[in-house]
Amino acid sequence: MITLRPSHERGAVNIGWLDSRHSFSFGNYYDPQHMGFSSLRVINEDKVQPSQGFPTHGHRDMEIVTYVLSGALEHKDSIGNGAVMRPGDVQRMSAGTGILHSEYNASATEPVHLLQIWLLPGQLGIEPSYEQVFFSDEQKLGRLKLVGSQDGREGSVTIHQDVSLYASLLQTGQQVTHSLGSDRSAWVQVARGAVEVNGQLLYAGDAAAIAQESVIDLKAIADQTEFLLFDMVA
> How confident is the model at residue 32, as a pLDDT?
96
> How confident is the model at residue 124, as a pLDDT?
97
The distance in angstroms from the start CA to the end CA of the chain is 12
Cα–Cα distances in angstroms (integers) from residue 181 to residues 39, 99, 140, 178, 185, in the given order: 16, 35, 23, 10, 8
Q: Are 22 and 29 in contact (CB under 8 A)?
A: yes
| % of the chain surpassing 90 pLDDT | 100
> How confident is the model at residue 136, as a pLDDT?
97
Q: What is the 3-state secondary structure (H, E, C) of 127-189?
A: CCEEEEEECCHHHHECCCEEEEECCCHHHCEECCCCEEEEEEEECCCCEEEEECCCCEEEEEE
Domain that holds residue 193: 2-233
In this prediction the pTM is 0.96
> How confident is the model at residue 137, as a pLDDT?
97
Give tens-digit pLDDT for 13-43.
999 999 999 999 999 999 999 999 999 999 9
Give tens-digit pLDDT for 165-205.
999 999 999 999 999 999 999 999 999 999 999 999 999 99
Number of domains in the chain: 1
CATH assignment of the domain containing 96 = 2.60.120.10
The model's confidence at residue 151, banded by pLDDT at 50, 70 and 90, is very high
Cα–Cα distances in angstroms (integers) from residue 182 to residues 122, 187, 215, in the given order: 20, 15, 10
Give tens-digit pLDDT for 95-149.
999 999 999 999 999 999 999 999 999 999 999 999 999 999 999 999 999 999 9
Cβ-Cβ contacts under 8 Å for 214 (sequence gap 6 or more) = 179, 180, 182
- Tell me the three state secondary structure of residue 28: coil
Give tens-digit pLDDT for 42-95.
999 999 999 999 999 999 999 999 999 999 999 999 999 999 999 999 999 999
> How confident is the model at residue 118, as a pLDDT?
98
- Compute the radius of gyration of the chain from its Cα atoms: 17
> How confident is the model at residue 85, as a pLDDT?
97
